Chains A and B, each alone.
Chain A
Amino acid sequence: MASTPRTQALTGAEAVRRTLEGGRVDWASRAFEASLVALLVLTLGVLAWLLTVVFVNGMPVLADRGFDFLTSPLNSQAGAAGVSQAIVGSLSLMLFVALISFPLGIGAAVYLEEYARDSWFTRLINTVVRNLAGVPSIVYGLLGLAVFVVALADFTGGRSLVSGGLTMAILVLPIVIITSAEALRAVPDAIREAAFGVGATRWEVVRSHVLPYAAPGIFTGTILSMARAFGETAPLILVGAVIGGFNVQYNGVVETLQGRYTALPTTVFDWARKPASFSGNVYAAILVLIVVLLLVNALAIYLRNRFERRW
């Protein structure tokens, strides 16, 4: 190599690369990499744009009305309308999801991963679960409409909170099964074999060894699936979440369960179709929705990192 000041400044690797490339600049490769970066930046940029628009348009409403927005019920006047009923409704639905789909989903996952032999039946269940996870959410709404609202109207009260809750629980069930199964699969076999080796039965192995080790993963999966359910709108619309307004007082648990309800995403949908006076409200409600979702996701990620075990 000529010992000009320029080549002296290069490291050995750089000098070799220059020699191999023959001193020509590979424009095509640089353009390719630049375009990839541009696409990535565009994707992230759209997200930033969206969040900015939401924040800029929603924050004034929240700053203006603040607590009032969060505690007012639905109203035909934009200035008086708030999301209190929506938040209560969404939280109630999440309660249903947690109480119904978590035990069912985790139980199914335990069966599939710990108990099931490799038979046609097991493979069928696995295929069914995977396909159910890919079904559009509005189809679950149809299921809820046909089964809970119409067929079981005597029990559920028709377009009621119970119907909505059960529909959301079924929607979330496949995801809970899949994430729990993955968490269970991640537990090394050595743990199980050690327990079997000292004479534990299968249930004892699962209860005292597998589940505790898989718990963080299962927990994270269930939190994320709840976050997903929190943002779902289409099934709730079909199953009868209120759009418009309602002002009914329910006495007692049964009446509330069989009564009307609304949810945060459906409120956003409803207000989105209203005239421009509601525009600020829509953005404020979206802001509330996104903040809740971001918090839940952050919680899940934090818990996953905190309790993750490295085998």
Chain B
Amino acid sequence: MTASSSAQPPTRLSLGDLRGSPARRRRELSVRLLFLAAATVSILVSFLIIVSLAGEAWNFISQIDLPLLIERGWFPRRDLYSIHTIVAGTLTVAGIGMLVAIPLGLGAAIYLSEYASPRMRRTVKPILEVLAGIPSVVLGYFALQVISPTIVDPICPGSTQGFNMAAAGIGVGILITPLIASVAEDAMYAVPRSLREASYGLGARKRTTSLKIVFPAAISGIVAALILGLSRGIGETMVVSIAAGATGGSLFSVNPCEPGQTMTAAMTALATGSDQVRGATLAFPSLFFVGLLLFAFTLALNLIADRFVRSMRIRY
């Protein structure tokens, strides 16, 4: 209120009187714009991803004969770009990963949410976070050197040098278990106690309450957990690059006991020169085409999972 003099009572205060010094207001505005710029960077990044992928991907698609896309196998050095081979590889590995991660993750989640004491929760949750923090290269090497000989070899007859999609799948499963466990456990923990207590009040056992009341109540969060796990499993690169083999390329295969090429491993192989990047071949653009495909898959899955998470929040 600096504008009015002290001698006479002010007749009416305007907004201008309350505003404060222009310098202070200028600083406010510039700070606000600065933060706005920072926030807009994220949109810029998104835009850049789509543009950079789409440009080269179009380059690829426009130059290749479409029937080639469902040809025999993925062998970039011989100009064979069978997309459905690598998609099949990705789905096989991700599928095995889910087979491993769903029981482990949901089991841990139900136990921690319904049965475990607070002290056990406090001890076990950080350990799960440690598991979540293990880099995927480590798990990949573990899958190749330990899981393949120990678990897969006995089951599969005569695997090639230890490279197979089953070992990679189990590695991916171990990787996504903590993700599924923590999201599902959050969902179940968020179910109001009143629901459980009503169930107990009617005489139900803990097992009945957990499976028939809490689990269905948290189902949207649990589904979100599974979808997020699947999305992560599809996008997983290092485990499959190390353990699934097929660096030169592979034929179409859904046999987990055989080596196979996934979308992500194909991209790694293209970039490290196991297959050729740069040059007159279509290898470089094919890298971006596969990348765009991968981006589209995981984006779709994440958007669906988002929907489920949002419906979980609305209920309570």
Contacts and interface: CB of A to CB of B under 8 A. Distances in A.
Given A26-B205, A227-B133, A243-B272, A203 B31 contact: yes
Interface residues of B, number: 86
Nearest to B309: A130
B138 A103 contact: no
Contacts of A227: 133
A93 interface: no
Interface of B: 20, 24-25, 27-28, 31-32, 34-43, 45-46, 48-49, 52-53, 55-56, 103-105, 107-108, 110-112, 115, 124, 126-131, 133-142, 144-146, 174, 177, 181, 203, 205-207, 228, 231-232, 234-238, 241-242, 264, 267-268, 271-272, 287-288, 291, 294-295, 298-299, 302-303, 306
B134 A129 contact: no
Interface string A266-306: 00110011000001001000100110011001000100000
A84 B114 CA distance: 47
Nearest to A134: B302
Given A104-B38, A134-B302, A29 B205 contact: yes
A37 B31 CA distance: 53
A233 B136 contact: yes
Given A43-B108, A202-B28, 11 more contacts: A39-B108, A43-B105, A47-B134, A107-B35, A108-B42, A111-B35, A127-B306, A139-B235, A143-B45, A170-B45, A234-B238
A15 interface: no
* Interface size, A (range): 35 or more
A231 B139 contact: no
Interface of B is mostly: helix
A62 B274 CA distance: 31
A44 B135 contact: no
Contacts of A74: none
A139 B53 contact: yes
Contacts of A173: 41-42, 45
B267 A134 contact: no
A115 B36 contact: yes
A201 B111 CA distance: 49
Given A32-B207, A173-B42, A227-B133, A203 B108 contact: no
